[in-house]
Amino acid sequence: MSHRIHYPLPHTLGRLALKLLAWGVLFFLVLPLLVVVPLSFNAEPFFSFTDGMLRLDPQAYSLKWYGAIFDSPEWLLAIRNSIVVGVCATVLATVLGTLAALGLASPDMPFRRAITALLLSPMIVPLIIVAAGMFFFYARFNLVGSYTGVIIAHAALGVPFVIITVTATLKGFDTSLYKAGLSLGASPARAFRDITLPIIKPGVIAGALFAFGTSFDEIVLVLFLAGPEQTTIPRQMFSGLREQLNPTILAVASLLIFLSGALLLALALLKRQRAGRRPSRVLS
């Protein structure tokens, strides 16, 4: 027979106040998103709710601003650049971040803390300082205004996320498995591919998703390093807010919200899959 635990009244009131505060903060953070999405379906070129929208009139809603995205050469160029730069930067950041995490996980790694702080600095240092430093450095190699420069810069921002997620996965990794593979004649590359990589794969994928999301949402580095041909979605939105204000920007913002939600859902599914594959300990 189960017995329900009765907490004192002050404890119950404290828990209730904490829940109300948490829900209030969540509502405060989500409220702008709840405003942007409905306005993106506005049939009129306004950034406000019309009388028809307030009366839930179907004629007050339209998909024309979503269609305007794919009818505009500027938006199509921005979408293509964001995808190309995001994918290339993600691949580069994932490879470099995974190798760095493996090196930092080695007990023989000298100056581990200093190197870790250096690799994680793009996440800590204000982005405007990083962008200014990259601009003057890349200018010497003619990388300003090129796809290569933007991809390398976005990859530098994504590397810390990959390092953190892969390092967290490596904490539960049994290095004796890798050594056993080497003792059986496998090369280091094959032992990594067949033993280490399948175990740390959830961390690698999570880091790649974070790196892609960071690249897709970044604007400061693009303003410093990109030229007219490397315009990305955030930069096009920034230019639209300054030059031509219309609800197309809200439609793009809504698509980015859905993309962010899909990335979070993928991370949640990946975490659940990792928990389901975790071997249970059996006591004999």
% of the chain exceeding 90 in pLDDT = 22
For 125-153, what is each residue's pLDDT tens digit? 888 999 999 999 999 999 998 999 999 99
pLDDT at 283: 36
Residue 7, both tokens: 């907490």
CA distance 164 to 50: 46
Question: By mean pLDDT, which of 101-105, 217-221, 279-283 is the weakest?
Answer: 279-283
Q: Which amino acid, one-letter code, is at 284?
A: S
| Top-confidence residue, 105 or 225 | 225
Q: Per-residue confidence at 242, pLDDT binned at 50, 70, 90? A: confident
For 97-108, what is the mean pLDDT? 86
For 83-100, what is the mean pLDDT? 94
For 82-109, what is the mean pLDDT? 90
For 13-31, what is each residue's pLDDT tens digit? 778 888 899 898 888 888 8
The domains found in the chain, sorted by start residue, are: 79-243 (1.10.3720.10)
pLDDT at 61: 79
Q: Per-residue confidence at 4, pLDDT binned at 50, 70, 90? A: low
For residues 69 and 279, the answer to whether their CB atoms sit within 8 Å is no
Dihedral sign of CA atoms 17, 21, 27, 30 in order: negative
| Top-confidence residue, 3 or 256 | 256
For 25-54, what is each residue's pLDDT tens digit? 888 888 877 788 888 888 777 777 776 666
Q: Per-residue confidence at 3, pLDDT binned at 50, 70, 90? A: low
pLDDT at 72: 86
pLDDT at 239: 82
Mean pLDDT for the chain? 83
Give burial (CB, 10 Å; 0-12/13-18/19+) of 202: buried
For 175-204, what is the mean pLDDT? 83
Q: Nearest 10 degrees: CA dihedral of 144, 150, 156, 158?
A: 160
Residue 161, both tokens: 């996320």
Q: What is the DSSP string of the chain?
A: ---PPPPPHHHHHHHHHHHHHHHHHHHHHHHHHHHHHHHTTBSSS-SS--HHHHTT-GGGB-SHHHHHHHH-HHHHHHHHHHHHHHHHHHHHHHHHHHHHHHHHHSTT-TTHHHHHHHHTHHHHS-HHHHHHHHHHHHHTTT-TTSHHHHHHHHHHHHHHHHHHHHHHHHTT--HHHHHHHHHTT--HHHHIIIIIHHHHHHHHHHHHHHHHHHHHH--HHHHHH--GGG--HHHHHHHHHHH---THHHHHHHHHHHHHHHHHHHHHHHHHHHHHHSPPP---
| Top-confidence residue, 239 or 273 | 239
Place of tokens 């790694």: 109
% of the chain exceeding 70 in pLDDT = 88
| Top-confidence residue, 39 or 94 | 94
5 phi, psi to nearest 5 deg: -85, 130
